[in-house]
């Protein structure tokens, strides 16, 4: 089999890979020096579009419209951009073996790729219900959503099962975004999740109550405190019913499952230090193996602001960690260094006419402010998290660009607060005056 050799290889062709390529382009890269190896068939794109605009019944987002870096207002890198720069896009190529001491990657088809410096950007994969042996979970029309191929299959099924019944399993990001997407497509939607409220990793019960109320007003049925324990299918093998642990049975033409992700680090097990489920890095995204970097969802990195190692599964960090790693690589070539990564966590989501942003850390006491009535024509509300007398996190639904910037500033500067009641009354104006 042919062997190809590159100075730099980025393994993975997702968000982090695309932003890393752009940074290589900015810093200067010689033709033939850099390759991106991806099991996906398309150049890096903004993955968040898959659960939002990609599923719109009309005017849906399609490639090449959302290749990176449009999601952050940057230049759109079309396949030609890589060609012009002499960056090799090696697509539809899954790496099945990595030998870090030998600096070699091997694809499913047996191709061998050598590198001097490797950037691991393999992202996450979905947790499947078949992983914990849920009966019938391999029926047709049970979907997961991670890559564009998954989204295409879902779009086909939405067309085939027009105005049908959809059951969404999971009350996290995918659950909430897909519940809305299926409703917009005129499906009769039920959502099922085990926790007492949706998005429990981030939302307080008061924040969740707003979204659950809003979804209920849209006609979405929410079933909490139970899980899917089995599926029945028809004679074509297509899913027909979802059986719940509490004994209820829901009819379904389409099931979408979003029960969490898992970082894709298996190729490197035993070859590199791991921490908190990811590949451990320093503040420059260097791993324990020389000349091997890890960025995006797979990296467990020092979050300087909280003096703690963390993994972050969101797009803003995927972009920024990739840029940081490439800057560090290029600086080290000249014997220079760059500043340590100093990240302020930033998550967001959009569904229906809603849009929220969160900055910082969701620990400590919380206060809720604003109008969180799901019936309001223009709801705008938020929450602060207060730890050791300081505001450490802030959430805002329905904010303007300036207001979102204000809550970001609060989370970064961590101002002191003495009186939580006063903070509740001040609400958003507290952030806007910082």
Using CB under 6 A, list all residues that contact ligand NAD. Answer: 51, 124, 169-175, 177, 192-195, 200, 227-228, 258-261, 313-314, 347, 349
Cβ neighbours of residue 157 closer than 8 Å, sequence gap 6 or more:
141, 143, 254
Least distance in angstroms from the C-beta of 361 to ligand NAD: 16
Is residue 35 a contact point for ligand FDA (CB under 6 A)?
A: no
Cβ neighbours of residue 241 closer than 8 Å, sequence gap 6 or more:
231, 232, 249, 250, 251, 252
Is residue 100 a contact point for ligand FDA (CB under 6 A)?
A: no
Is residue 300 a contact point for ligand FDA (CB under 6 A)?
A: no
By a kind-dependent CB cut-off of 5 to 8 A, residue 25 interacts, out of ligand NAD, ligand FDA, none, with: none
Residue of 10, 15, 292, 392 that binds ligand FDA (CB under 6 A): 15
Is residue 310 a contact point for ligand FDA (CB under 6 A)?
A: no
For ligand NAD, the closer of residues 77 and 169 by Cβ is 169
Per CB under 6 A, the segment of 57-65, 112-120, 342-350, 369-377 that binds ligand FDA is: 342-350
**Residue closest to ligand NAD, measured at CB:** 172
Is residue 365 a contact point for ligand FDA (CB under 6 A)?
A: no
Is residue 9 a contact point for ligand FDA (CB under 6 A)?
A: no
Spatial separation of the C-alpha atoms in residues 254 and 268, rounded to whole Å: 35
Q: Are 165 and 252 in contact (CB under 8 A)?
A: yes
Per CB under 6 A, the segment of 129-137, 220-228, 344-352, 369-377 that binds ligand FDA is: 344-352
Cβ neighbours of residue 359 closer than 8 Å, sequence gap 6 or more:
344, 345, 346, 393, 394, 407, 408, 410, 411, 412
Residue of 240, 311, 314, 327 that binds ligand FDA (CB under 6 A): 314
Per CB under 6 A, the segment of 31-39, 213-221, 282-290, 425-433 that binds ligand FDA is: 31-39
For residue 261, give Cα distances in angstroms to 21, 322, 370.
25, 20, 33
Is residue 50 a contact point for ligand FDA (CB under 6 A)?
A: yes
Per CB under 6 A, the segment of 14-22, 233-241, 333-341, 416-424 that binds ligand FDA is: 14-22
Q: Collapsing DSSP states into helix, strand and coil, what is residue 49?
A: helix
Cβ neighbours of residue 30 closer than 8 Å, sequence gap 6 or more:
7, 86
DSSP result, 384-424: EEEETTEEEEEEEES--HHHHHHHHHHHHH--B-S-HHHHH
Q: Collapsing DSSP states into helix, strand and coil, what is residue 431?
A: helix
- Rg of the chain in Å (alpha carbons): 23
Q: Which residues of the shown chain bind ligand FDA in the complex (CB under 6 A)? A: 12-17, 37-40, 47-48, 50-51, 94-95, 121-124, 145-147, 264, 267, 296-297, 313-316, 318, 347-349
């Amino acid at each position: 089999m042919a062997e190809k050799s590159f100075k730099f290889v980025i393994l993975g062709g997702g968000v982090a890979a695309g932003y890393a390529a752009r940074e290589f382009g900015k810093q200067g890269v010689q033709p033939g020096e850099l390759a991106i190896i991806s099991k996906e068939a398309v150049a890096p794109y903004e993955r968040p579009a898959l659960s939002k605009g990609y599923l719109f019944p009309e005017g849906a987002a399609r490639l090449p419209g959302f290749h990176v870096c449009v999601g952050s207002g940057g230049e759109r890198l079309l396949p030609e951009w890589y060609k012009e720069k002499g960056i090799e896009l090696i697509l539809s190529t899954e790496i099945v073996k990595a030998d870090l001491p030998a600096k070699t990657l091997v694809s499913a088809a047996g191709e061998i790729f050598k590198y001097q410096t490797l950037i691991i950007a393999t992202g996450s994969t979905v947790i499947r219900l078949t992983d914990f042996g849920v009966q019938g979970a391999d029926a047709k029309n049970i979907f997961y959503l991670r890559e564009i191929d998954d989204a295409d299959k879902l779009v086909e099924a939405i067309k085939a099962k027009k105005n049908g019944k959809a059951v969404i399993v999971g009350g996290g990001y995918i659950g909430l975004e897909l519940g809305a997407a299926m409703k917009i497509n005129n499906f009769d939607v039920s959502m099922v999740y085990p926790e007492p409220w949706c998005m429990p990793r981030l939302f307080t019960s008061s924040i969740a109550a707003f979204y659950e109320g809003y979804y209920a007003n849209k006609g979405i049925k929410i079933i909490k405190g139970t899980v899917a324990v089995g599926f029945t299918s028809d004679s074509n093998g297509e899913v027909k019913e979802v059986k719940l642990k509490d004994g209820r049975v829901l009819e379904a033409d389409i099931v979408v499952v979003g029960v969490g992700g898992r970082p894709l680090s298996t190729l490197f097990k035993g070859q590199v230090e791991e921490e908190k489920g990811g590949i451990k890095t320093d503040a420059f995204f260097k791993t324990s193996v020389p000349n091997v970097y890890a960025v995006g969802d797979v990296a467990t990195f020092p979050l300087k602001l909280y003096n703690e190692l963390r993994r972050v599964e969101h797009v803003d960090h995927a972009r920024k960690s990739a840029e940081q790693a490439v800057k560090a690589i290029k600086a080290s070539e000249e014997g220079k260094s760059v500043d340590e990564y100093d990240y302020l966590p930033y998550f967001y989501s959009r569904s229906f006419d809603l849009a929220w942003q969160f900055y910082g850390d969701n620990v400590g006491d919380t206060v809720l402010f604003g109008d969180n009535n799901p019936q309001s024509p223009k709801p705008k509300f938020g929450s602060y998290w207060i730890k050791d007398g300081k505001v450490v996190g802030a959430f805002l639904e329905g904010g303007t660009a300036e207001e979102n910037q204000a809550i970001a500033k609060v989370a970064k500067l961590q101002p002191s607060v003495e009186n939580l009641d006063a903070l509740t009354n001040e609400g958003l104006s507290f952030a806007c005056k910082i």
